[in-house]
Chain A
Amino acid sequence: MKKQALARTIKTGIQRTDLTENEVRQAIERAKHYPFVAYAVDAPYLELAKELFEGTEVLLTAPVSYPLGGMTLETRLDQIAFAIKVGADEINPALNFNAIKSGDFSTVLDEIKRMVEAAGDNLDVIVIPQLYILTNEEKLKVCHIILKGGVTAVKTNGHGSLCRPEDITLLRREFGNDLSIEASGGIRTTAQAAELLELGTNFIHTSTPYSVLEDAE
Chain B
Amino acid sequence: MEARELDKNTLANMIDHTELHVDASYGDIRRLCLEATKYGFASLAIHPVNIPLAVKLLKGSTVKVDAAIGFPTGAFTIEGKVFETKDAIKKGAEEIDFVMNVGMFKAGNYGLVKDEMRAIKETAGDIVTKVILETCVLTDEEKIIACQIAKEAGIDFVKTSTGFGEKGATVADIKLMRQTVGGEMGVKASGGIRNTKDALAMIEAGATRLGTSAGIAIIEGLRE
Stretch touching chain B among A50-58, A63-71, A164-172: A63-71
Determine whether the beta carbon of B80 is less than 8 Å from that of A82.
Answer: yes
B-to-A contact residues, CB < 8 Å? 20, 22-27, 29, 46-51, 68, 71-77, 79-80, 83-84, 87-88, 91, 99, 101-104, 106-107, 134, 137, 162, 164-165
Determine whether the beta carbon of B106 is less than 8 Å from that of A20.
Answer: yes
Q: How large is the interface on A (under 10, 10 to 19, 20 to 34, 35 or more residues)?
A: 35 or more
Interface: A130 (CB within 8 A): yes
Determine whether the beta carbon of A98 is less than 8 Å from that of B103.
Answer: no
Given contacts A18-B134, A68-B47, A70-B50, contact A102 B102 (CB under 8 A): no
Give min CB distance, A207 to chain B, whole Å.
13
Determine whether the beta carbon of B48 is less than 8 Å from that of A70.
Answer: yes
Determine whether the beta carbon of B107 is less than 8 Å from that of A98.
Answer: no
Given contacts A70-B71, A98-B49, contact A18 B103 (CB under 8 A): yes
Which residue from B23, B51, B88, B103 sits with its C-beta under 8 Å from A19? B103
Which residue from A19, A66, A99, A133 sits with its C-beta under 8 Å from B49? A99
In Å, the complex CA distance between A101 and B30 comes to: 14
Determine whether the beta carbon of A17 is less than 8 Å from that of B137.
Answer: yes
Given contacts A72-B51, A75-B84, A97-B22, contact A15 B73 (CB under 8 A): yes
Q: B83 to chain A: which residues have CB within 8 Å?
A: 74-75, 78
A-to-B contact residues, CB < 8 Å? 15-22, 42-45, 66-72, 74-75, 78-79, 82, 96-99, 101-102, 104, 130, 133, 158, 160
Determine whether the beta carbon of A82 is less than 8 Å from that of B27.
Answer: no
Determine whether the beta carbon of B84 is less than 8 Å from that of A71.
Answer: yes
Given contacts A70-B50, A78-B83, contact A102 B25 (CB under 8 A): yes
Further contacts, 15 of them, CB under 8 A, given A44-B77, A72-B84: A15-B75, A42-B73, A42-B76, A42-B103, A44-B101, A68-B72, A68-B164, A70-B48, A71-B84, A74-B87, A79-B76, A99-B49, A101-B24, A101-B25, A102-B26
A sample of 10 inter-chain contacts (CB < 8 A) reads: A15-B73, A17-B134, A43-B77, A44-B76, A68-B72, A70-B68, A78-B80, A79-B76, A98-B23, A101-B23
Determine whether the beta carbon of A130 is less than 8 Å from that of B51.
Answer: no
Chain A's closest residue to B138 (CB) is A18
Q: Which 10 A-B residue pairs are closest in the complex by CB-CB distance?
A: A70-B47, A42-B75, A20-B107, A102-B26, A133-B23, A18-B137, A101-B25, A102-B25, A19-B103, A75-B84
